[in-house]
């Protein structure tokens, strides 16, 4: 009889082979007894219900059904939920923590490609690469080898909104460059900002003094439309807004007005609503560069999420502390 604890996948079925390719699945199966062919997409399914009764570790992912009291009652042996994606807010309920069930998330792993996307866009925007490409496509001409005034990444101020996992990783990635990062976050004090190596500014001051503003705050009632008409008006002429967090943090009507005026440019990987309607002016405005929510883990990056779960399972089973435990007390202000 296997000594490995029983585990069960709970996510959209097609995510299993993408997040857990053969080499990652093999590592997970060394730690737990889990069948990739049995995936819980509906906890009311009789076969899933039977497996749930034996499950000690639930490996969740995108599309996981809600873990309410009834589901937890059907899983009396459950001791850990290991999430192979970012936020657990869509399915986790406080009852999980009340029952002493450990919760872990691969949000830190998912933060890496988002931060990399952000860094790339900061550098490209500083050189005016995106707009220059559009101009060349439209005119089929080149400005030649002359010096282009007003562009470049030397000494440019980058304002980071939110010391989230992604925001902190962006700050790390910016260190080798001759850029001047600054941070705003109501939950960070001067001492912590000093450890991060950046000045801590009020939001308004950060907006006024930044050439590039990149948003990495969670979506909460407090952050809804936090970048509105007043805030956008504070940004200097020619500034760039990057949003890889959530579309609802930015007032899109106010942003469109600034883009139409040609005063600001925006790089948006998230929109509100999402997906972006076909008739949205953001598709056509020359100052808008919109990508379809691809900054997060994609393609071969998904395996890093699965590997994070496998490593957490190994820690759990050898009595070590989970590296990426989710704390209910801070969940509300996390992404």
Active site residues: 246, 274, 293
Cα angle for residues 22, 24, 26 (degrees, 5° grid): 65
Question: How many Cα atoms are found within 13 Å in the side-chain-facing hemisphere of 193?
Answer: 18
Bridge partners, residue 288, by sequence: 266
**Coil, strand or helix: which one is 188?**
coil
Take residue 16 and report the two structure tokens written for it: 């299993």
Query: H-helix or E-strand containing 243?
Result: strand 240-243
Take residue 135 and report the two structure tokens written for it: 């101009």
Report the residue count for the chain.
Answer: 335
Rounded-to-integer distance, Cα 205 and Cα 128, Å: 24
Hey, how many other C-beta atoms are within 10 angstroms of the C-beta on 28?
25
Rounded-to-integer distance, Cα 136 and Cα 154, Å: 24
Q: How far is CA 293 from CA 32, 243, 248, 289, 330, in A?
A: 33, 10, 14, 12, 25
Sheet architecture: strand order including 288-290: 180-184, 157-161, 212-215, 240-243, 265-268, 288-290
- In a 10 Å sphere around its CB, with 0-12 CB exposed, 13-18 middle and 19+ buried, how is residue 26 labelled? exposed
Distance from the first to the final alpha carbon of the chain: 41
Hey, how many other C-beta atoms are within 10 angstroms of the C-beta on 275?
9
Rounded-to-integer distance, Cα 50 and Cα 45, Å: 9
Rounded-to-integer distance, Cα 133 and Cα 48, Å: 52
Take residue 326 and report the two structure tokens written for it: 């989710």
């Amino acid at each position: 009889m296997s000594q490995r604890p029983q585990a069960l996948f709970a996510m959209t079925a097609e995510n299993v082979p993408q997040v857990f390719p053969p080499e990652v699945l093999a590592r997970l199966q060394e730690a737990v007894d889990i069948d990739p062919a049995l995936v819980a997409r509906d906890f009311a399914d009789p076969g899933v219900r039977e497996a749930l009764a034996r499950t000690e570790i639930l490996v969740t992912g995108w599309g996981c059904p809600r873990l309410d009291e009834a589901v937890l009652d059907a899983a009396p042996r459950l001791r850990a939920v290991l999430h192979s994606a970012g936020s657990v807010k869509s399915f986790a309920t406080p009852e999980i923590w009340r029952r002493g069930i450990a919760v872990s998330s691969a949000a830190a792993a998912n933060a890496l490609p988002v931060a990399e996307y952000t860094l790339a866009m900061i550098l490209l925007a500083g050189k005016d690469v995106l707009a220059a490409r559009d101009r060349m496509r439209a005119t089929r001409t080149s400005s030649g080898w002359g010096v282009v005034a007003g562009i470049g990444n030397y000494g440019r101020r980058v304002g980071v909104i939110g010391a989230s996992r992604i925001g902190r990783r962006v700050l790390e990635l910016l260190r080798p460059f001759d850029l001047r990062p600054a941070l705003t976050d109501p939950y960070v004090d001067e001492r912590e900002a000093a450890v991060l190596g950046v000045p801590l500014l009020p939001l308004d001051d950060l907006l006024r003094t930044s050439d590039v503003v990149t948003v990495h705050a969670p979506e909460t009632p407090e952050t809804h439309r936090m970048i509105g008409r007043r805030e956008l008006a504070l940004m200097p002429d020619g500034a760039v807004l990057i949003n890889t967090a959530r579309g609802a943090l930015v007032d899109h009507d106010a942003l469109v007005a600034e883009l139409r005026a040609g005063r600001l440019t925006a790089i948006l990987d998230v929109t509100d609503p999402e997906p972006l309607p076909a008739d949205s002016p953001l598709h056509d405005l020359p100052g808008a560069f919109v990508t379809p929510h691809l900054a997060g883990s994609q393609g071969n990056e998904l395996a890093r999420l699965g590997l994070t779960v496998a490593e957490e399972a190994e820690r759990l089973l050898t009595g070590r502390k989970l590296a990426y435990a989710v704390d209910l007390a801070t969940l509300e202000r996390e992404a």
